[in-house]
Structure 1
Amino acid sequence: MSKETWDLIRRIANERNISIEILEEAVQSALISASKKMVDPEMEVVRADIDPKTGDYRVFARKMVVDHVENYALEISLPEARLYDVKARIGEPIEIDVTPTDFGRIAAQNAKQVITQRIREAEREMVFERYSNRIGELVSGTVQQYERGNVIVDIGYAEALLPFNEQSRGERYHYGDRIRAVILDVNQSSRDAQVILSRKTPDLVRKLFEQEVSEVRDGTVVIRGIAREPGKRSKIAVMSTNLDVDPVGACVGMKGSRVQMVVQELKGERIDIIPFSQDKAKFVMNSLKPAEVESVELDSAGKRATLVVKDDQLSLAIGKGGLNAKLASELTGVQVDIVSVSELEASERETRAMLASLPGVDHETVETLMSAGVFSYDDIVEYGLEGLTETAGLQPEMRLTRISRPG
């Protein structure tokens, strides 16, 4: 093996970020494997030495020193052994040079195959070791290829895959584009190790804010939750561990500089930054921003809320295709029902009229029933006669005739 070939192996190791020792071992294995094809099949070839300065190599086999040689492939006489090692003794093994003549061409061909295979294995192991413990981290890379909807991204020590189903809606990628994404998984197979990226995960929003907002990085501002419709809108709930720090202001930045950096990376995706509150009603009200909420009413289980907004705020509160309401529900974990003031007033008028039409129910009783949460015939049935008697103060002897659904 020439010095030039050995220099090439070193250059490959450097370019591929592979330890030179790994390729040295591969070359040695290749030389041993190739030599076994040219010597006695029984011979125990155990070692190959390479001079990195000259590229010269030698192959060695182990033989046992004996008085009388019966198997020349495995044994050697003492006089012959002492030609290799003057300290050789009977009953002890010795390594002798068995480098075949005209070994160069076969050795080079075998070395090429083994080195190619070992490079693949080393790269696979290196990628898996480097990235398998970084799942969930944000990485930067350069778009290398775009084919069949999938994007190949150079992230430094590996070419990662950004699958079509992990891309944000509406984004387009071109060769040389710089992008940031979250490591979703690292898959290892017998052929390679594949780093899988995502730009759809809500964690991308979280990591971008960690990168752009120092208060998030140091824990002063805590992100309590994220609801996201990739490519369209995200809502992020934040709170401060320091009373002197406004969590929303910290994330927005001076003149919106911080949040705009995140929006720019997300290709224009809208971001609502919501102050988190332990008061669920207040949190639900905040979650509907940018719409202004007049009032909120939670059910007893805290799983459903009715929010009242002014008429001119209704479309903003619901959002295009119901997106604003949907994200508010995801962020808070509360099913959100939105009504306008005029809708509420109309509903209350209908309810009063319905209750007032019942025999024996006067205006005062209507107000009492509505205050108790009775707004429909189904509510009347749910309360039961005893409940209504107690709540509305109806006389027991009148209860059977007063509350009944019209025929």
Structure 2
Amino acid sequence: MNEEFIESLKEIVKEKGIDEDLIFSTIEDALVLAYKKNYGSNNSNVRVEMNRVTGDIHVYSQRDVVEEVEDPICQITTKEAKEIDPKYQLGDIVELEVTPKKFGRVAAQSAKQVVIQRIKEAERNIIYNEFITKEFDIMTGTVIRKDRGNVFVNLGKIEAILTPNEQILGEQYNFNEKLKLYIVEVKNTTKGAQVVVSRTHPGLIKRLFELEVPEIYDGTVEIKSISREAGSRTKIAVYSNDENIDAMGACVGPKGIRVQNIVNELNNEKIDIIKWSKLPEEYISNSLSPAKVISVEVDEDNKSAKVVVKDDQLSLAIGKEGQNVRLAAKLTGWKIDIKSESQAMEQQEIDVNEE
């Protein structure tokens, strides 16, 4: 140990943001173990002191002052203690230096291992603390490799995992490609921070709109609900408390540029922007866009709605494989039963005849 080592250590402590007292006390604890291991000491009362300026190390054997010695390794008589220093009294602790001549080499190796370990721990904690604040946020990452269906993405200080469940079906992830990703979870593991990201999460849509639409970012326009089938279609319900602000128009942007940027980022995923309403009938009607709705009858108790559309609008309202009505139901939180105008009339005639 020398002054150069101490200076280097303090520089590392400052650079990595590690507590200086913690690392020195940890080194001293490690040196106690090193002393016992290398010099076969059975004395449990050993203290190691490191000079924080020169790096000099001293090992002290600690003994209790007693009237009659039962364990000479841990105890010393009052008489013997007073011979060392007349101030010692019964019950005091006497420290005798027992520093081995070649202990410096052992100490240096032990200290090095502890410092390396502490630096790794500190760096892991710093990275975790940085990324935990980004949980449920959006980041840009670079694809670096694929392994067993997982895609690993470089987020700067850490690799994130895009698992198969979080990947958009049919989307290709090419080496060095940049992606917008939603931070689903940040875990603190024994190997450090583990970041799970997503391309399918509805939160990605929300964050992309916040990036593209200033009115959403500043709170003028509010996203009320999102329903998404990643890679295919998304519905987003928006609202503004300011009557002078067109919530849907703000999201679409001049010449559709804002929503188009999001569509491009998501490889042409279709996005329906819906006007939210506190009136269930109006909200449900809007949610079935682009279909035109004739009427909506709601059952508040069962939170279900019967919707009637023109005959030529039925397939549009239901959507391919039922996607449009499925997303509308998820968006609004209502069960939606759709009938065409002619089907509704037939049902009405049946109901009348039954009466």
Query: Fold conserved (TM > 0.5)?
Result: yes
Aligned to 1:201: 201
What amino acid sits opposite 1:303 in the alignment? S
**Secondary structure of 1:42's partner?**
coil
Aligned to 1:359: none
Cα contact 1:32–1:48 (8 A) shared by 2 = no
Distance 1:31 1:110 in 2: 6
CA positional deviation for 1:133: 6.2
Change (3 A) 1:286 1:174: same
Cα contact 2:81–2:94 (8 A) shared by 1 = no
Map of 1:90-101 to 2, 5 A cutoff? 90-91=89-90, 92-101=92-101
CA positional deviation for 1:34: 0.6
Aligned to 1:235: 235
**Secondary structure of 1:173's partner?**
coil
With a CA cutoff of 8 Å and minimum separation of 6, indicate the structure with the bigger relative contact order.
2
Stretch moving more, 170-179 or 28-37: 170-179
Map of 1:77-92 to 2, 5 A cutoff? 77-78=80-81, 81-82=84-85, 89-91=88-90, 92=92
2:219 is equivalent to residue 245 of structure 1: no
Distance 1:175 1:158 in 2: 17
Aligned to 1:296: 295
Aligned to 1:329: 329
Change (3 A) 1:143 1:105: farther
2:332 is equivalent to residue 375 of structure 1: no
Unpaired runs of 5+ in structure 2?
none
Aligned to 2:42: 41
Change (3 A) 1:25 1:213: farther
Change (3 A) 1:168 1:47: farther
CA shift digits 1:350-400 (9 cap, x unpaired)? x4xxxxxxxxxxxxxxxxxxxxx6333xx368x5xxxx3xxxxxxxxxxxx
Cα RMSD of the aligned pairs, angstroms, is 3.7
Distance 2:236 2:52 in 1: 62
Distance 1:261 1:97 in 2: 73
CA positional deviation for 1:45: 1.9
Aligned to 1:166: 166
Map of 1:113-124 to 2, 5 A cutoff? 113-124=113-124
**Secondary structure of 1:47's partner?**
strand
Distance 1:130 1:41 in 2: 44
Moved over 6 A (4+): 66-70
Cα contact 1:220–1:240 (8 A) shared by 2 = yes
Distance 1:123 1:226 in 2: 37
Change (3 A) 1:306 1:130: same
- TM-score normalised by structure 1 residue count: 0.70
- TM-score normalised by structure 2 residue count: 0.79
Aligned to 1:185: 185
Change (3 A) 1:112 1:208: same
Cα contact 2:280–2:298 (8 A) shared by 1 = no
CA shift digits 1:32-81 (9 cap, x unpaired)? 221122263115123331436x5443344434467998725554844774
Aligned to 2:306: 305
CA shift digits 1:207-236 (9 cap, x unpaired)? 222233232233221111100111222111
Distance 1:337 1:194 in 2: 44
Cα contact 1:62–1:96 (8 A) shared by 2 = yes
Cα contact 2:285–2:296 (8 A) shared by 1 = no
CA positional deviation for 1:332: 1.8
CA shift digits 1:183-217 (9 cap, x unpaired)? 32333445544332233221221122223323223
Aligned to 1:366: none
Distance 1:117 1:129 in 2: 18
CA positional deviation for 1:276: 0.6
CA positional deviation for 1:339: 5.3
Cα contact 2:82–2:88 (8 A) shared by 1 = no
What amino acid sits opposite 1:34 in the alignment? A
Distance 2:30 2:134 in 1: 35
What amino acid sits opposite 2:221 in the alignment? V
CA shift digits 1:91-115 (9 cap, x unpaired)? 4335454332222443344344444
Aligned to 2:138: 138
Change (3 A) 1:296 1:11: farther
Distance 1:80 1:25 in 2: 32
**Secondary structure of 2:106's partner?**
helix
Cα contact 1:168–1:200 (8 A) shared by 2 = yes
